[in-house]
Structure 1
Amino acid sequence: MPFNTALTRQLGIRVPVVQGGMQWVGYAELASAVSNAGGLGILTALTQPSPDDLRKEIRRCRTMTKNPFAVNLTLLPALVPPDYHGYAQAIIDEGIRIVETAGNSPGPVIKQLKAANCTILHKCTTIRHAQSAIKLGVDFLSIDGFECAGHVGESDITNFILLSRARQSLAVPFIASGGFADGQGLAAALSLGAEGINMGTRFMCTVEAPIHPKIKDTIVGAQETDTELVLRRWKNTSRLFKNEVAVKAVEVERASTTGKFEEVAPYVSGKRGREVFINGDSNYGVWTAGQVIGLIHDIPTCETLLQRIENEAEETIARTSALMTSSQTHPLVPSEQPSGKVEPHMNNPQAEIWGVGKSKL
C-alpha cells in the first residue's frame, strides 16, 4: 500500500520525498525523473537566466513526465535582484501549482503565488521564521536542519531538535530537510512528526542528475566530515563541499582585518561553482553539499533510489512497531512469559498514517 501523509495527499505523489531546489542542478532531466519515480521533482527557477527561459524549461519538463512537479524560487540578497515577480508569473502562467520558496522577505511573492491557488512549500531554518511563514499562508514548511547543504542559517540547530520543536509548536504540516538519504531517515522523520522528507545532495548523486560523473564519484567517496561552513562572518553561512577553494575562502574570511566581503568574493564565485558540474574538477570552485554525503555510497537511478527508500521505510516502520507489546503480555519476569505468539502493539497514533497495523505500505 502507498504512503498516506498530508504531503502525498495534497501533492498527488506516491512517495513522501521531495527533490529540493538546487542551483545548476534542478533541470528538467532530474525533476522529471524524480516525479516519474513517485516523488516530487523540482525545477530551480534561478538556474534559468530569465522568466522566459523558465517557461521553456517547464514546458520541456512536461514532455518528460505526466506526474506533478514543482518549481523552486529562492529570494536572496543581491545588488541587482532577479525579476522574482516575473519568475513567479511564469510559474503561474505555465500552470505550475506547487512551488518551493525560500530566502529573504518572501511575502510579496508568496502572496502572488497564493492568489493563483499555488501550494507553497517554504523552507525555514528556525521555528521563528517558520511561524512568520505561517502568517503568510504557506501550506507546508520545509524544516531545514543545520546538516543541510547551502544556506544553513545562523542558529546551528540540528534536525533531531528542530523537527521536534516543529512538532510541538507549528500548526502547519512540515517536511524534514537536511541529512536525509534513505528509508530509515524517512521513517525517522515520520516518527518525529514530519509528513515527508526533502533531499538535495542525495539526488545529486543519481544517474539523471545533470552534473559531471566525476562530481558524483567525489560525493560517493566523501565522508560526513567533508563539508565546510563559509561566509559565517557576514551572517550568510553556507555549507559547501570541503575542497581547496572552500578551505581558502575560510582562511581569508578568518584572517581578514577589514571584514570586507570583496576579499573573499573571488573564492565563492557562483560562476566558477557552476563550472564544477560541467568540467568535473571538484576543486575548480565552491559547490554545495550536505553532511549527508557520508551516507551516499552509490549512483542509482531515481527510480531505484525511491523504490529502495520505500522498502527501507516499510521495513523500518514494521520492525520498530514490532518492538512494542501490549501491557497484558509484557514479560515482567521470565516465568511469567505467556505462551503463544505475541502480537505487535498497534496503538501507535501514527500507525494509520503509515499504513502499519491495518495494512502494509
Structure 2
Amino acid sequence: MPFNTALTRQLGIRIPVVQGGMQWVGYAEMASAVSNAGGLGIITALTQPTPEDLRKEIRKCKSMTKNPFGVNLTLLPALVPPDYAAYAQVIIDEGIRIVETAGNSPGPVIKQFKAANCTVLHKCTTIRHAQSAVKLGVDFLSIDGFECAGHVGETDITNFILLSRARQSLKVPFIASGGFADGQGLAAALSLGADGINMGTRFMCTVEAPIHQNIKQAIVDAQETDTELVLRRWRNTSRLFGNKVAKEAVKIEKESTSGKFEEVAPYVSGKRGRQVFLNGDKDYGVWTAGQVIGLIHDIPTCEELVKRIEREAIDTLKQAQTLYIEEGTSAPGTVGPKTNNPGAEIWGVGRSKL
C-alpha cells in the first residue's frame, strides 16, 4: 500500500481520494464504483426524497461494494428544511461509520454522529469555520478552495493559501477539495499538508457517473473559464457551469434595480438542474461544476481514473525527490552550496530527502 496517511488509515481505504457528495450524482452506482476502485465513495443523503429512501440506497450500495463508503449530509437554508435528524439516524442505524457533513449550523447532527462513533469529515471554505468545526469534535476537515463547484463561500480564497493556512493552524487532519483531477494535484495537496483530496466534478466525468453522456462530454469540451459565480448579490455564491441559463441569471443579478431574489429564482431552480442530468440538455437548467473542468479531457471508469491518479501521484513525488540534494553535493548544471556563489545557500532547503 503506497499511501499511508491519516485518511487511509482511519477510513480503511487504499488511495487518499474521496468522492464529493454531489446532489443528483451521489447514488449507490457512483459511490460503489469509487470505493471499489480504492477511494472513498459517498452517497448524497438529500438526493433521496425521504430518510427511508436513503436507507434503501445505502443497502443497495452495500450490495455493490464490500469496501468502506460514506454518506454526505448537507444542511442548507430552506423554507421547509428536511428532517436532518431522521436522515442522520438512518445513516447510523444502517451501520455507516463515515459521514461527510457540510452547511450551516451542523452542531446537532455532528453531535448525533459522534455519539454513534462515526468518523466525521466536515467541509469548510474558511479557516474560521474549520476551527469552529474542530470544537464540535470532527475527525477530518475538507478544506474547500474558491475553485470548487457549488457553494464557494464569500471569501474568494484559493486552495494554495487555504491549505497552507490549514497546515499552520488546524489541530486535526484535513483533505483538500476544489480544483483536483489528477495525481499531480494529489501530490501537491500532500506536499501542502493535506492527507488526501476530495473530487466532485472529476468523478462526474466517469463512465459510472449517473448523468447523461452529453453532460459528461460538455465537461470534457469545457475550459477552466467556463463557469459562472451566481447569487453573489445575496451572499449565497455558487459556482455553476457557464451555460445560457447561468449567464442569464448573472446578467439579471447585476442589472436588477430592485435586488429581489424572485427575479432570478426561476433561473436557478434545482428541479431544472436535476433534469439536465437526465435529458442531456446542458442549457436546460443550472448545474454545478468547478474550474477543474479545464483539466478534464476524457471519460474513464472510476477504476481507470483512480489507478491513474495513484500512478501519477507516486511518479510526481518520486520526481520531486530528485530535486533534493545532499549537503556538500551539487545537482548537474547547478551551483552547489560549496561554491562561492552568494546565492548558493538556496540549496539549504534541500538537505534532506523525502
Q: TM-score category by the smaller chain?
A: over 0.9
CA distance in 2, matches of 1:176, 1:318: 21
Deviation readout 1:223-255 (Å, 9 max, x if unpaired): 000000000011100000000000010111111
For residue 63 of structure 1, what is the aligned residue in structure 2?
63
Task: State which drifts further: 109-118 or 249-258.
Answer: 249-258
- The 5-angstrom pairing of residues 171-210 of structure 1 reads 171-210=171-210
1:354 maps to none
1:150 paired with 2:146, answer no
Ranges of 4+ aligned residues in structure 1 off by more than 6 Å: none
Residue of structure 1 equivalent to 2:15 = 15
**2:56 alignment partner AA:** K
What's the C-alpha RMSD, in Å, of the aligned pairs?
Answer: 1.3
- Letter in structure 2 aligned against 1:8: T
SS in 2 for 1:63: helix
Provide, for residues 32-83 of structure 1, a one-character-per-residue CA deviation record: whole Å limited to 9, x for no partner.
0000000000000000000000000000000000000000000000000001
Q: How does 1:1-361 map to 2 (within 5 A)?
A: 1-330=1-330, 347-348=352-353, 351=354
Contact 1:321 1:346 in 2 (8 A): no
How far did 1:330 drift? 2.4
> Which AA in structure 1 matches 2:85?
H
Give unpaired runs (5+ residues) of structure 2: 340-349
Quote the sequence identity (%). 81
Aligned partner of 1:355 in structure 2 is none
Q: C-alpha separation between the residues in 1 aligned to 2:87 and 2:20? A: 18
- Scaled by the length of structure 1, the TM-score of the pair is 0.93
Pair 1:3–1:269, CA change in 2 (3 A) = same
Q: Say if 1:333 and 1:269 are closer, same or farther in 2 by CA, change over 3 A.
A: closer
Q: What is the Cα deviation at residue 346 of structure 1?
A: 8.1
Distance 1:253 1:267 in 2: 11
CA contact (8 A) 2:325 2:352 kept: no
CA contact (8 A) 2:327 2:351 kept: no
- Cα drift, residue 2 of structure 1: 2.3
Distance 2:130 2:94 in 1: 28
Give the superposition deviation at 1:333.
Answer: 5.4
C-alpha contact (below 8 Å) 2:202/2:296 kept by paired residues: yes
1:357 corresponds to: none
Q: 1:229 aligns to what SS in structure 2?
A: strand
Q: Is the 8 A contact 1:32 1:69 kept in 2?
A: yes
| 3-state SS of 2:64 partner | coil
Distance in structure 1 (CA, Å) of the matches to 2:297 and 2:11? 30
Distance in 2 between residues matched to 1:330 and 1:131, nearest whole Å: 43
In structure 1, runs of 5+ residues without a counterpart are 338-344, 352-361
Give CA-to-partner distance per residue, 1:17-46, whole Å, 9 cap, x none: 000100000000010000000000000000
SS in 1 for 2:99: strand
CA distance in 2, matches of 1:34, 1:117: 24
Number of aligned residues = 341
Q: Deviations over 1:114-159 (max 9, x none)?
A: 0000000000000000000000000000000000000000000000
